[in-house]
Amino acid sequence: MAKRIAIVEDDPDQRGNYVDAITKKGYDVTAYSSRAEALAGFDQELPDLAILDIILGDEVDAGFELCRDLLARAPSLPVIFLTERIAEIDKISGLRLGAWDYLPKPISLDYLAERISSLLRINEARLQSTAGSSSAKMVGDLSIDQEALLVSWKGQPINLSGTEFRMLAKLVRVPGHAVSYDTLMNATMQSLVTNNTINTHMRNIRKKFEMIDPDFDCIKSEYGFGYRWSVK
């Protein structure tokens, strides 16, 4: 069965271009022009991946609100923001909400299709696998499976986005050794990446561990350089 992609975009020309390009890749695409229309559609059926503009009509933060709603219903759902709002504060807000990617307009339609395929592959692998698979590596109380893209801490699963997983994998590759901002930026596979963006991702990762273990303190900041995974 074809994966279901939802696109929420108020510009009819852009919306049509996205639908055509993604449909040609074999996906089942549903497009919405407003937050209200999208919410009504999500009440009927949730997509496998959602692409959200932020400004929809007169609602300047509609995409953010939709992201909150979607992730409240399906916390592991891949969400991509595709927007002309490229200020650092906007990107940080999107990442804090749990988006998997934040892409600027205009965008190559081929690149957009590839990002969709990549995120769906990551999510599919995570859904089909378990953290206890034989390929999992143990780093103290951390279990990380780079084939299944799964992480657990003290036996409890941690729901990381694809970007967060890749950054964590870089961090724990050599525990105790500092990993530079440049290396972490490459791990994100995103555009518009700055040190502040990396810091936001790291705060999000920490929070997810702390939800399971309030005493979690393995991610250390190396001021001006990057981060390291502390060996205890």
Q: Give domain limits for the chain.
A: 4-125, 131-229
Q: Residues 28, 120: contact at Cβ < 8 Å?
A: no
pLDDT of residue 161: 81
pLDDT of residue 191: 66
The architecture that CATH gives domain 4-125 is 3-Layer(aba) Sandwich (3.40)
Check for a shared fold between 4-125 and 131-229: no
Nearest in space to 73 (alpha carbons), one of 42, 114, 36, 52 = 42
Across residues 151-161, what is the average pLDDT?
87
Q: Residue 53 — pLDDT band, cuts 50, 70, 90? A: very high
Distances (CA, A) of 139 to 15, 29, 98, 142, 213: 45, 41, 25, 5, 16
Q: Residues 180, 173: contact at Cβ < 8 Å?
A: no
| Gap between the Cα atoms of 120 and 3, Å rounded | 8
pTM given for the model: 0.69
Inter-helix orientation angle 162-172/109-128, to 10°: 70
Q: Residue 178 — pLDDT band, cuts 50, 70, 90? A: very high
Q: Is residue 23 scored above 60 in pLDDT?
A: yes
CATH 3.90.1150.10 fits 131-229, yes or no: no
Q: Residue 97 — pLDDT band, cuts 50, 70, 90? A: confident
Mean pLDDT of the residues in the chain:
89
pLDDT of residue 136: 77
Of residues 228 and 88, more confidently modeled: 228
